[in-house]
Each structure stands twice: as structure tokens, then as C-alpha cells.
């Protein structure tokens, strides 16, 4: 259909040129030459359109280098263990906070400062109000606490669509680039205790570990990657749905990453590239709700897509092997290192902390 349209446009341009040459012989020579030049430009535009269309149809991870350079994907990248933060125990602890999550952010910081006082905490601001930022800074008042505003203007516009979580690979890579090792946690997750040695040791073996932490209120039932990944996403990673039918989906709500050369090139780069391509992370028709897990067989696409989580699970499966999930997953059900906090509990905690802060000021 597209080829036919392009052909008709070319025919129209040629006919128009011939008409003007034969029936408007009073035109100056310069005008006719300008018309011919303009016609040639149209041919080139059509050619470029077809080339861009071909790239789109190939569905490859092609990203503008200017975005990648901002995030540290350069010829001589900063890599673990040589280029790391020296003024903090590693990993640094990173989270992201959006509008309406101040209560979680404050509780998160208090938990980190209590459980892991030697580790730096970095909070990426995804859209807090000025008042909330000022309030957050009152609790982030140490040399090991930082609040960073995510500058959406530096990246494609869809990164600002928080529902698709394109920001998550971006901020994790940004933190990896300056720190070398990052433990990312959603702001409603807390530590049960302060010893993370086992988690660090496991992560050092492969460079990355994802916790199997579940969302609050979500069933602990394991679902295949294929059931929670839009079929179009597989095409960008040059693989097929069948390869992941029996690979369990692992949550990215908490994950520990070391910026080794292998992780930098083979995991973070394709994950970030997909996040920066809207059609990859957010295929047409993709949605995160309305899941139909009653379909048979259970590995069929449920109608729900997990965006960046789906992308990372594909990248990990392709790198480590679809049958080797144990290499990069952490069974939190055994260790209980992490636990979730509901909105109600976080609100009560924030009220107490804010009252104590007001009382001492």
C-alpha cells in the first residue's frame, strides 16, 4: 500500500513538471531550473521516507548517540571496579519518586539511613512539587543523601510518560555511570535488616541480580515472560515468543547492578536502547491492566505488558539463557531482606516523622 502511494506521488510530480515545461514556455529559465531542483528534492524525500520506513519495519535497537553519550555509553566508559564512588560504601541505594509519593520517599530515606548508614542514598525526582522537594530535603540532610531532578528534556518525550517506566533504565544507568554499583529499589520497599552481604556476593558473580519482590496486592503466582510481554517487543530483540514460554518473569522493583564491562555492553545498553525507542518499550496496543491469566496455556499473552520489566527480562534471558533465571534472581521469600509498605502505613510513618521534625525545629 505504501509503495503504491509513493509511486502515485512520483507520477504526479513528473506529470506536473512536463505540464509546466510545455505549457508555460514564458517562464524564465531560472524558474524552470528551480522547479526541476525542487522535483529532485521531492524524490530524495520519498527515498528517505522509504529508508526510514524500512528501518522501522526491521525493528532494530537503533538509538540516537546523543542520548547514549549522556548516559555514559562512550568509547571509554566508566566501569566497575576502576571508576566508582570512593566516598561511599557500594552499592549506592537509588529510588525514584513522583508526585504523590513524598510519604514513601521520606520513609525510604529513614530506612536507608538506619539500616545502611554507610551507603549513599540517591532519590531521583520525577515530578514532585516545589513544596514536596523542600520537605524531602529536610529529611535528606546528610552528606550521603542526594536528590536529583530527572531532566526529561534530554531524552525522547515518551520518557516523561511515567506509566510506561521508560525512566527506570535511564536513571539506573545514570547512577551506574557515576557510582559504579547501584541497588535500585522502588520507594515503597524497605530493608528488614542491614546486612546485604549475601545479595552483594551473588550479584558480583553475574553483575546483576533482580529480587523476586512482588507488588503490594499482586498474587505470588509466577507468570511466564510471554504472558506479560507484548509480542511486538520480541522483534526488537531479534528473538521469538516461543523461546520464552517457560521463562518466569522477574520483577525489577528491586535490583542490584554492578557496572562491569559485560553488564554495560550486554545488559544495560540494549535495555536503555529499548527504553529510548517508544515502539520498543511501548508497542501499539500495549497496556498494563486488564490481564487475562485464565487463558490456556498459561504462557499465552495475557493482554498485559510490563514495559521496561519485559524488556529487561528479554535481555537477561538472551544473555544468560532462558533456562538460567536462578543466575540473576534473588529469592526474597527465603531471606526476607525486603518488604513492601502500603500507602496507609507510609502515611502514618510520615505523619510521625514530620511531627518530630516540626517539634525539634
The per-residue pLDDT for range 58-94, each reduced to its tens digit, is 688 999 999 999 999 999 999 999 999 998 999 999 9
Q: What is the mean pLDDT of residues 195-200?
A: 96
Alpha helices by DSSP H, listed for 237-320, are 261-263, 269-276, 278-281, 308-320
Answer yes or no: do 27 and 69 share one domain: no
Query: Is the pTM higher than 0.85?
Result: no
In a domain, 356, yes or no: no
From its phi and psi, is residue 165 left (phi > 0), alpha (psi between -120 and 50) or beta? left
Whether residue 355 is contained in a domain is answered as: no
Say if residue 111 is in the same domain as residue 18.
no
The CATH number linked to 324 is 3.90.550
Alpha carbon distance 101, 106 (integer Å): 9
Q: Which residues pair with 248 in a beta bridge?
A: 224
DSSP secondary structure letters along 234-260: HHHTT--GGGGTTPBP---SEEEEE--
How does pLDDT run across 115-154, given as a tens digit for each residue? 999 999 999 999 999 999 999 999 999 999 999 999 999 9
pLDDT per position as a tens digit, 2-50: 455 555 555 655 555 554 444 444 444 444 444 444 544 454 444 444 4
What was the pLDDT predicted at 328?
96
Based on the domain organization, do 193 and 317 belong to the same domain? yes
Please indicate, yes or no, whether residues 38 and 85 belong to a single structural domain of this protein: no
Same domain flag for 8 and 83: no
Domain match, 130 and 278 both: yes
Q: What is the pLDDT of residues 228-282, one digit of tens each?
A: 999 999 999 999 999 999 999 999 999 999 999 999 999 999 999 999 999 999 9
The upper half-sphere exposure of residue 240, i.e. CA atoms within 13 Å in the direction of its Cβ, equals 2
Same domain (yes/no): 26, 130: no
Residue 171 lies in a domain: yes
| Same domain flag for 24 and 168 | no
49 and 150 fall within a common domain: no
**Residue 44 belongs to domain spanning:** 2-58
What distance in Å separates the CA atoms of residue 179 and residue 91, rounded to the nearest whole number? 8
How far, rounded to the nearest angstrom, does the alpha carbon of residue 100 sit from its chain's CA centroid? Answer: 21
Q: Which residues contact 267 (CB under 8 A, 6 or more apart)?
A: 207, 208, 257, 312, 315, 316, 319
Amino acid at each position: 500500500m505504501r509503495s503504491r502511494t509513493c509511486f502515485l506521488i512520483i507520477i504526479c510530480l513528473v506529470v506536473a513538471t512536463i505540464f509546466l515545461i510545455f505549457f508555460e514556455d514564458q517562464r524564465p529559465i531560472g524558474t524552470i531550473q528551480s522547479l526541476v531542483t525542487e522535483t529532485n528534492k521531492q524524490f530524495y524525500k520519498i527515498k528517505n521516507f522509504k529508508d526510514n520506513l524500512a528501518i522501522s519495519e526491521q525493528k532494530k535497537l537503533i538509538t540516537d548517540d546523543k542520548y547514549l553519550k549522556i548516559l555514559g555509553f562512550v568509547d571509554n566508559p566508566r566501569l566497575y571496579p576502576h571508576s566508582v564512588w570512593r566516598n561511599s560504601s557500594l552499592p549506592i541505594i537509588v529510588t525514584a519518586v513522583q508526585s504523590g509519593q513524598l510519604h514513601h520517599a521520606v520513609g525510604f530515606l529513614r530506612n536507608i539511613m538506619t539500616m545502611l548508614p554507610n551507603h549513599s542514598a540517591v532519590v531521583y525526582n520525577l515530578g514532585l512539587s516545589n513544596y514536596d522537594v523542600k520537605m524531602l530535603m529536610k529529611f535528606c540532610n546528610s552528606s550521603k543523601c542526594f536528590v536529583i531532578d530527572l531532566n526529561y528534556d534530554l531524552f525522547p518525550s515518551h520518557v516523561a510518560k511515567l506509566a510506561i517506566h521508560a525512566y527506570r533504565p535511564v536513571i539506573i544507568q545514570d547512577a551506574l555511570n557515576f557510582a559504579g554499583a547501584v541497588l535500585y529499589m522502588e520507594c515503597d520497599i524497605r530493608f528488614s535488616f542491614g546486612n546485604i552481604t549475601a545479595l552483594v556476593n551473588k550479584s558480583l558473580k553475574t553483575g546483576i541480580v533482580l529480587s523476586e519482590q512482588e507488588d503490594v496486592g499482586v498474587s505470588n503466582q509466577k507468570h511466564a515472560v510471554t504472558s506479560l510481554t507484548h509480542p511486538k517487543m520480541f522483534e526488537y530483540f531479534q528473538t521469538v515468543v516461543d523461546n520464552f514460554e517457560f521463562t518466569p518473569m522477574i520483577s525489577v522493583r528491586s535490583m542490584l547492578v554492578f557496572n562491569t564491562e559485560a553488564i554495560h555492553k550486554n545488559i544495560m545498553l540494549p535495555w536503555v536502547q529499548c527504553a529510548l525507542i517508544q515502539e520498543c518499550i511501548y508497542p501499539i496496543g500495549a497496556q498494563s491492566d486488564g490481564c487475562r491469566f485464565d487463558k490456556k496455556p498459561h504462557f499465552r499473552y495475557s493482554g498485559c505488558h510490563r514495559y521496561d520489566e519485559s524488556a529487561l527480562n528479554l535481555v537477561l534471558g538472551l544473555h544468560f539463557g532462558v533456562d538460567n533465571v536462578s543466575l540473576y534472581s534473588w529469592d526474597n521469600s527465603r531471606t526476607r531482606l525486603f518488604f513492601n509498605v502500603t500507602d496507609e502505613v507510609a502515611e502514618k510513618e510520615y505523619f510521625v516523622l514530620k511531627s518530630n521534625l516540626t517539634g525539634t525545629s
